Structure 1
Amino acid sequence: MPLPFLTADRAFDTDDIALPFDDHDQWRRPYRPGPWRVGLAALALLLASFVLLAAVVIAAAGGTGGALLTFGFAALIIGAALRSLRTGVWVSKAGLRHVAFFTTKTMPWRQTSAVRTAQQPVRWLGLPRTVQGQALVVVRHGGEPAALLTDHNADFLSRVEAFDRAADTVEAWHAEYAGAGAAR
């Protein structure tokens, strides 16, 4: 079963074209999820398999209420693992989408004035500890800059080249469609 949210298209590995897709209307993540994110999701799914096994044992023992509660807990773990794999930045012709664990914010390209890379303190793996690093920052018209990606998050920790490639790709999408939106 293909899981399109796990991999970006192979075009990012082979071509130097910034917008290598034929269908720009479809939302795409311009990078692959990093090993930290995938590893944590795999561990969560492993835990869910043990919880599901426990639910089957509880159901076989005749505790239907406990089994249902345990099945529900396993479903919650599986849902959290899949949602964590979907988090990140997605781009399309319509705009820029920042998917967090609990929220999703979509910004049309015409509302953005700049997308750039900046040196600033960034959170390490999303934890409260900050380190000096790079962030891909989006600036809205008349608004504060907001960091979309950092080189110390779960997708790009120890993958500087991948961060640079993803930042360049998002900047290229901005240059293509923010300029086109302003010309219309």
Structure 2
Amino acid sequence: MSLPFLASDGAQDEALPYAARDTWMRTYRPGPLRVAVAAMALVFVAYLLVAAGIMGIAGNTHGAGTCLTITVLLVVCALRLLRVGFWVSGRGLRQVGLFYTVTVPWDRVGSVRTAQQPVKVLGLPRTVMGQALVVTRSNGDQLRPLLTDHNADFWHRTEAFDQAADAIEAWAAALR
């Protein structure tokens, strides 16, 4: 099933299908682990909404308000979790994390390359040797290595990581 709002299914033959547009797109699909965590959070949200309704009917407005607040926070976190990753457009490169977003225009991108280096496993403190997409700004600063072969999008899917990294590198080479 194609979900064009989540990622590009663009054929590899077309160099940069959306380069003329200024819309942000991800060159890869969110990984199954990331989608599963977001789905489980939304299932928990359904239970919290039922609990908030029961508490509201019972007259416990403080408890219902607390459940609704937690519900809103979980929905925002689940949606944000699905947006985490690298996004590209004709304007630049955008790195979206859970709590931050960094946008670098193409004229300020120094280099985009894949490097063998220690990477975090699923964002946890444990590190192993793996591949990471390293983005260096023209002033020499590096962005956090968000796209790795051990993150939630590419866990045990090295071929998908290679395709995503190559696509982002192609965008950078064409638009820098």
Q: Could you say whether these structures have the same fold, taking a TM-score greater than 0.5 normalized by the shorter chain as the test? A: yes
From 18, 37, 52, the counterpart of 1:55: 52
Aligned residues with identical type, % of pairs: 53
Q: CA deviation at 1:112?
A: 1.3
8 Å CA contact 1:138, 1:148 repeated in 2: no
Aligned residues: 174
Post-superposition CA distance 1:63-82 (Å, at most 9, x none): 12211121111111111111
Please give the residue correspondences for 1:1-184 in structure 2 after superposition, counting only pairs within 5 Å: 5=5, 7-11=6-10, 14-21=11-18, 23-146=20-143, 147-178=145-176
Q: CA deviation at 1:4?
A: 5.7
**Aligned in 2, Cα 1:22/1:142: closer, same or farther, shift over 3 Å?**
closer
Unaligned runs of 5+ in 1: 179-184
Name the SS of the counterpart of 2:59 in structure 1: coil
Post-superposition CA distance 1:128-172 (Å, at most 9, x none): 000110000011123133324101000011111111111111111
What amino acid is aligned across from residue 24 of structure 1 in structure 2? R
Structure 1: how far apart are the matches of 2:174 and 2:19? 14
Q: TM-score, normalised by structure 2?
A: 0.92
Unaligned runs of 5+ in 2: none
Q: TM-score, normalised by structure 1?
A: 0.88
8 Å CA contact 1:37, 1:155 repeated in 2: yes
Structure 1: how far apart are the matches of 2:120 and 2:13? 30
Q: CA deviation at 1:20?
A: 2.3
Post-superposition CA distance 1:20-74 (Å, at most 9, x none): 2375311001100001100000111111111111101101111122111211111
**Aligned in 2, Cα 1:22/1:112: closer, same or farther, shift over 3 Å?**
closer
